Structure formats: structure tokens, C-alpha cells
Structure 1
Amino acid sequence: MWYFTVRQNDLTNEQYQLLQKKAKLTEVEIFNEPYDNLCLFEVERDHYRQFVDTLDLEGLSYEVVNERPTRQQLLEGMR
């Protein structure tokens, strides 16, 4: 599995729905200000390229890892 992290504020509703359809699982990690909420998309290995292509075509910034990041790791990445 691959885990893609995208800032929720960077996504339109249409982009979110498009990515949600292509992902196996979608979660939203909610943080208090001054941090942004993050969307975490779980994608099967076979769909990695398609998902990256979609993110790139939509012009979205993302981070990708092959192990699900913990909430603490997500928070540390924003500091």
C-alpha cells in the first residue's frame, strides 16, 4: 500500500471526490490551528502510477510513503 497526504485546503470538492474514487481508503486527519487538516489516501500498489498521474494533472502537492504515517508523524511534518 501507498499513503498519499494532501492538505485538505488545497483540494476542491471535485478533486477530493475524484481522488476518493481512485483510493482504497480516504481519511481526514483534523488538526487545530495553526495546522491544516490533512487528507490521507490509501492506494494499492497496482494503482500507484494512476494516482500520481491524477495528482500531477490536478497540480496538487502531496507526500507519499509506503507505511501509514501516525498522527504524530503527520504533525511533525507540518512543523
Structure 2
Amino acid sequence: MWYFLIKQRALEKAQYQRLQKRASLAEVELFNEPFENWYIFSVEKDVYSLFMDYLDREGIEYKLTADRPTRDDMLVEMQ
């Protein structure tokens, strides 16, 4: 499984809906100000390259990881 992390403000509603359909699981990690909310898309290994290609074509910035980050991991990275 691969995990794509995308800042919530980086996606339009239609893009989010398309990504939801392509992912195995879509989650929202909510944070309080001054931190941003993140979408976490879980994608199977056999289709992650198609998912990544879509993000690249749409010009959507993302972080890719093989392990799902914890909430604490995400907070540390944002500080």
C-alpha cells in the first residue's frame, strides 16, 4: 500500500471526488490553526503509478510514503 498526502487546500472538490474513486481509502486528517488539514489517499501498489500520473498531470503537489504517517508524524513535519 502507498499513501499519498495532499494538503486540503490544494484540491478542488471535483479533483477530490475523482481521487476518492481511484483510491482504496480516502481519509481527512484535521488539524487546528495554524496547521493545514491533509487528505490521505491509500492506494494499492499495483495502481499507485496511475494515481501518481494523474496527480502529476493535474499539477497537484503530494507527498508519497510506503508507511501511513501518524498524526504526530504529520505535526512534526509541519512545524
TM-score norm. by structure 1 comes to: 0.97
Deviations 1:5-61 (A, max 9, x none): 000011000110011110000000000001110000000000111000011011111
Amino acid at match of 1:26: A
Identity %: 51
Amino acid at match of 2:23: A
Partner of 1:32: 32
Matches within 5 A, 1:61-72: 61-72=61-72
In 2, Cα distance between equivalents of 1:3 and 1:76:
18
Partner of 2:4: 4
1:75 shift after superposition:
1.1
Corresponding residue SS for 1:6 = strand
1:78 shift after superposition:
1.2
Structure 1 unaligned blocks of 5 or more? none
The runs of at least 4 consecutive aligned structure 1 residues that moved more than 4 Å come to none
TM-score norm. by structure 2 comes to: 0.97
What is the RMSD computed on CA atoms of the aligned residues? 0.6
In 1, Cα distance between equivalents of 2:63 and 2:52:
10
Corresponding residue SS for 1:16 = helix
